[in-house]
Amino acid sequence: MPPAEIWINGLVLSCTYMTMASGLVLIFSIMRLLNWSHGQLYMIGAYVVYFSLMQFNIPFVLSLILSALILCVMGIVMHLYLLRPIEKAVGGQVLGPIFVGVATIALNMLLEGLATLLFGPYPRGMKTTFEGFLTIGKAIINYQQIFVIAFTIVVFVIMYLVLGKTKVGLAVRATAQDRHTAGLYGVNVVRISTLVMGIGCSLAALAGGVVSPLFAIDPFIGTTALFMVVLTIIIGGMGSLVGAIVGGLILGFLGSVASYYVTYFYEFALFGLVIVILLVRPQGLFGQSGADQFVPAPGKSSPAGAGGLGGGKRNVLIRAVLVVALFCLPLVTTDNFVMSLLIDAVLWCVATMGFVLILRTGQFSLGQAGILALGSYGAAILQVHLGWSFWWALPLSGVISAIICLLIGLVVLRIGGIYFAIITFSLTEVIRVVASEWQTLTGGYVGLMPPAPSPITLFGTTWNFLTTGVPYYYLGLLILIASALVFQRIDSSHIGRAFRSIAVNPMLAEHQGIHLMKYRVIAYTVAGFFAGLAGGFYGNYLHYVGSSAFGFNQSTMITAMGFVGGVSSVVFGPLVGGALLSVVATYAKFAGIAGLTPLVFGGVVLAFLFFLKGMGLVDLPALVVRKLGAKRA
């Protein structure tokens, strides 16, 4: 039986998850938008309380109120001047709802980068406001924990009174039930959406602020908080406030007890629980079936737009010239830094192509970095622990990743929608945490160092290929070309046409005999194979595999590369976006300013969404031609 303090700690964690999840659920209920920046709002709320209390000596309770007010205003500004304009700009496109979600991911990156710039990457601690403790039997509970519990009760009582007993609450509930009908009855849906965005952000601030004296604060605490909260709403059910409360209680207590028994593997246990819930009751304990699904927009464009290079002899010649140029690059320079830039670009381009292929089916993956990690660790474990040759471990890294993606896809892709994004995000975090702590298998925080590839004997001659950066570049280029050929072939085949039909209107596609889950699983598995292959290659190139290289930030980077390059092309958009932004990221890493990369990437993605309405770099030539043609006419 766990000590009483474990249960008390579970109740405190539950209070945090409940408050934060309630804000996320409110926003989703009204806007059908999962706010991926919610974790960073939690982080900002904690920082506001920290500086209010430590720098300006404002009392703790007033600091919490100030934090809620600041984040409420921030949420209103976000909705009015960022999310709503982007929603209006891309609303008629097939992937319009996903574009708005990507805007919150970009905001997540922007806020984390800004916090790192302003406050530094190091954790801060603050004094406990309420000192002392109570002894109840064998249990010891400090006054700060008592305040967290009492404050959470007050917050939920106020929420109940506002939502259940006021006209504003009635309008919120009506809008959550049916936006269109609520508008017909005179409800100002835009005003309600703006108000709820502000309330949701303030709840995230309160969740971060109230526990800030109990935990260290740094710019990266938002990702962990977001991971736990999205698991909360999967357990409780999307769009259900009662589900947020019950899910928060379940996750808080289970997490606390599980961490007592299985120490660092409790995230894996919680993830397993979520998978079981998705199998038994996909909508969660209190959610309604279909609440997570977006209504497809039968609008102006499809995800298979005209970006990139199409067919024709001229474009085949362009492709051939591009491939020859890539093969000839080492003839121009063999500088180690240049080779490192090119090899990094190979990794990110392959992962981004897989991301766009999955997006072709209307599904949004936030777990591409997790697939890279599976490939890297798979190959490294085969080499280090089993003594396998790199030449066997490399293809098996792709197979391992593909099998895991297949299994995950069979569970989650029968539901699809926002759950797929949540599960892929959660899978990445679970892989990162488990890899950090499972020292006997993954090396823990130290990581693994796979040996250099063994020489190959062909026709009586021994060849020792991978000794410098140039041979590694050529091997990576072969992986990139193979990936591009397979992705392009799939996209131009009947499978690609099925992908696009599913994205445009899944119900119509199903009526036409297209098996939704089958094609979604194909996309996810193929993307998983090549991302795993690239990960296995990259880990051997570095002769090091560590968990810090594969997390949520890397998945958001891949998202940025896809949307900056252009998701209208499954190959050329990812190549352009992946190559450009990977060069920026690698240069920032060598220059010692890698912490600012999310700030730059987030700002660039928001600019593309805001000004180019979801188009990427490969779409710009066609856009310029259309503009010039319109002027001449």
Which residue's entry shows tokens 């922007």?
110
Angle formed at CA 121 by CA 224 and CA 214, multiple of 5 degrees: 55
* Beta-carbon contacts of residue 388 (< 8 Å; ≥ 6 apart): 382, 396
Identify whether residues 211 and 342 lie together within a single domain.
Answer: no
Within-domain flag for 320: no
pLDDT band at 459 (very low <50, low <70, confident <90, very high): low
Number of domains in the chain: 2
Within-domain flag for 328: no
Percent of the chain whose pLDDT exceeds 70: 91
Give the range among 44-58, 148-162, 415-429 with minimum mean pLDDT: 415-429
Q: Last residue of some domain: 220, 241, 267?
A: 220
Question: Which DSSP category does 334 fall into?
Answer: -
CATH number, domain of 541, equals 1.10.3470
Angle formed at CA 317 by CA 313 and CA 323, multiple of 5 degrees: 145
Identify whether residues 215 and 342 lie together within a single domain.
Answer: no
d(CA 320, CA 27): 49
Identify whether residues 210 and 338 lie together within a single domain.
Answer: no
d(CA 23, CA 143): 26
* Residue 115 pLDDT: 93
Give the range among 91-105, 107-121, 163-177, 537-551 with minimum mean pLDDT: 91-105
Of the spans 173-182, 283-292, 516-525, which averages the highest pLDDT? 516-525
* Residue 173 pLDDT: 92
Within-domain flag for 11: no
Helix, strand or coil for residue 536?
Answer: helix
d(CA 403, CA 389): 21
Identify whether residues 191 and 337 lie together within a single domain.
Answer: no
Task: Supply the pTM of this predicted model.
Answer: 0.89
pLDDT band at 106 (very low <50, low <70, confident <90, very high): very high
pLDDT digit string, tens, across residues 191-224: 999 999 999 999 999 999 999 998 899 999 998 8
d(CA 203, CA 75): 11
Identify whether residues 204 and 344 lie together within a single domain.
Answer: no
pLDDT band at 265 (very low <50, low <70, confident <90, very high): low
* Beta-carbon contacts of residue 247 (< 8 Å; ≥ 6 apart): 17, 21, 231, 232, 233, 234, 235, 236, 237, 284, 285
Q: Last residue of some domain: 220, 245, 271?
A: 220
Residue of 366, 350, 271, 354 lying closest to 524 (CA atoms):
354
Helix, strand or coil for residue 448?
Answer: strand
d(CA 370, CA 376): 10
**Sequential DSSP letters for 422-437:** HHHHHHHHHHHHHHHH
Asked if 496 and 490 touch (Cβ cutoff 8 Å), the reply is yes
Residue of 359, 306, 337 lying closest to 523 (CA atoms):
359
pLDDT digit string, tens, across residues 335-389: 888 888 899 999 999 999 999 999 999 999 999 999 999 999 999 999 999 999 8
Give the range among 71-85, 242-256, 260-274, 455-469 with minimum mean pLDDT: 455-469
* Beta-carbon contacts of residue 14 (< 8 Å; ≥ 6 apart): 248, 249, 251, 252, 253
Q: Rg of the chain's alpha carbons, rounded to an integer? A: 25
Q: Is the pLDDT of residue 292 over 80?
A: no
Give the range among 110-119, 510-519, 585-594 with minimum mean pLDDT: 585-594
Helix, strand or coil for residue 404?
Answer: helix
Which residue's entry shows tokens 């998701």?
567
Residue of 549, 534, 553 lying closest to 601 (CA atoms):
553
Give the range among 68-77, 456-465, 591-600 with minimum mean pLDDT: 456-465
* Residue 349 pLDDT: 95
70: number of Cβ within 10 Å:
17
Q: Is the pLDDT of residue 327 over 60?
A: yes
Bigger pLDDT: 289 vs 138: 138
Q: Is the pLDDT of residue 308 over 80?
A: no
Within-domain flag for 382: yes
Residue of 114, 200, 123 lying closest to 155 (CA atoms):
200
* Residue 273 pLDDT: 78
Within-domain flag for 10: no
Q: Last residue of some domain: 162, 185, 220?
A: 220
Sequence letter at residue 118: L
Within-domain flag for 6: no
Domain ranges, residue 98: 27-220
Mean pLDDT of 543-572: 90
Identify whether residues 214 and 363 lie together within a single domain.
Answer: no
Within-domain flag for 301: no
How far CA 82 is from CA of 428, 511, 596, 610, in Å, comes to 28, 37, 22, 8
Q: Is the pLDDT of residue 315 over 70?
A: no
Asked if 191 and 105 touch (Cβ cutoff 8 Å), the reply is no
Mean pLDDT of 421-425: 88
pLDDT band at 405 (very low <50, low <70, confident <90, very high): very high
Within-domain flag for 228: no
